[in-house]
Amino acid sequence: MAEVITNIEDLRKLAQRRVPRMFYDYADSGSWTEGTYRANESDFQKIKLRQRVAVNMEGRSTATKMVGVDVAMPVAIAPTGLTGMQHADGEILAAKAAEAFGIPFTLSTMSICSIEDIRANTSKPFWFQLYVMRDRDFIERLIDRANAAGCGALVLTLDLQIIGQRHKDLKNGLSAPPKLTLANILNMMTKPRWGLGMLGTSRRQFGNIVGHVKGVSDMSNLSAWTAQQFDPRLNWGDVEWIKKRWGGKLILKGIQDVEDAKLAVASGADALIVSNHGGRQLDGAQSSIEALPAIVEAVGSQIEVHMDGGIRSGQDVLKAVALGAKGTYIGRAFLYGLGAMGQEGVAKVLQIIHKELDLTMAFCGHTKIGTVDRSILLPGTFPTA
């Protein structure tokens, strides 16, 4: 009998059974104590909603815009590395599901499928996320490839100059490329569905890097390159250079502090994402939803403010919108769906989140997402600036 999937947690449990441990743990973990990772999710639960009754609930719409792009709901697929290891051709499948639903898909620099793979399998512009490497010639070529593919926005990640210590990854030998230890091989053998999918695709390496960097022709010589490439010297001057080279819509990801939000405005970016990298970098940092109101208060009239971190339901999306976010991003939620059921699973995630968002908006007395504000929240239960 087929399992009845009703929420994101159902898909997480299914993904945990179907995805090899090293790749599941990579998606479902944080740094150090994982305190910030857990707070991203639990802090949403502290925020309470005000139910309204005897309100006409017909004609509801969650449609809005993110950086000028029409979206079916204020949600985008977040950039996540190694997505194609959660499920064969994972980035392609997720991009197709997002396109069919009418929301943006963001491809990571550290994806398995390449920019060109996504372009060949979709018909609408997707977004591309950029990590800044020491090899600036490679970065320039990467930006040019994103431009050539017609990407609708560049998402520049600012909070991964150095990598946080993630204990599960260290214990599993998760690296670039992943270490095939005996324990990992034995675990993979217990995931036949995943294994058959991987055997059926040629996409098993970092498609944006291998073959595009001098001296990196396959996974065997990738490790040394990646170990030294994330650039700790990244600064606001680099943002200016990247903006000029790119020439299109620029979104800055990884903003947690009001002062950095003001610098993001000064950089001329089109939007910023309040994000702590899913609790995978600085453990002990604020949750994203807790950091959001102060940043909206400081710069929300000057730049579009988005957020990610901890979103597991449509109610979470609504709460973020109520606190001023013009858009949200889902990372782990879509990865659970992908690992569980491939493209169908990602589509299921989007359907679940949309239904929860739509129904909760109605219960709170609104029929249009654009009219939602903090008046739908119970005073004293939500963070303020």
DSSP 183: H
Those residues whose C-beta lies under 8 Å from the C-beta of residue 286, and which sit 6 or more positions away, are: 36, 39, 256, 276
Q: Could you tell me which of 336, 360, 361 has the C-alpha nearest to residue 350? A: 336
- Which range has the worst mean pLDDT, 5-9, 180-184, 241-245? 180-184
Query: What mean pLDDT do residues 235-254 have?
Result: 97
In one-letter notation, the amino acid at residue 310 is: G
Cα 345 to Cα 102, 119, 312, distances in angstroms: 16, 21, 14
pLDDT at 178: 73
pLDDT of residue 124: 96
Give the model's pLDDT for residue 380.
Answer: 96
Burial class (CB in 10 A: 0-12, 13-18, 19+), 3: exposed
Residues 46, 42: Cα–Cα separation, whole Å: 7
**Which residues are documented as binding site for FMN?**
79-81, 108, 129, 157, 253, 275, 308-312, 331-332
Phi, psi values for residue 351, rounded to 5°: -65, -45
> In order of start, what are the domains of the chain with their CATH numbers?
8-376 (3.20.20.70)
> What's the CA gap between 180 and 106, in Å, rounded?
28
Lowest mean pLDDT among 60-74, 144-158, 169-183: 169-183
Cα angle 107, 110, 116; round to 5: 50
pTM: 0.96
Q: Do strands 69-71 and 64-66 pair parallel, antiparallel, or not at all (unpaired)?
A: antiparallel
What pLDDT, on a 0 to 100 scale, did the predictor assign at position 78?
Answer: 98
In whole angstroms, what separates CA 303 from the centre of its chain? 20
Sequence ranges of the binding site? 26, 79-81, 108, 129, 131, 157, 166, 253, 275, 277, 280, 308-312, 331-332
List 87, 167, 212, 277, catalytic entry: 277
pLDDT confidence of residue 218: 67
| Inter-CA distances, 118 with 74, 128, 159, 207, Å | 22, 10, 25, 11
Mean pLDDT value of segment 60-76: 98
Is 167 a known active-site residue? no
Q: With 80 as the cut, is the pLDDT of residue 215 above it? A: no
Six token digits for residue 260: 């950095």
| 242 closest CA partner among 125, 109, 103 | 109
Predicted local confidence at residue 3, as pLDDT: 81
Read off the pLDDT of residues 267-307 as tens digits, 9 standing for 90 and up: 999 999 999 999 999 999 999 999 999 999 999 999 999 99
pLDDT of amino acid 176: 65
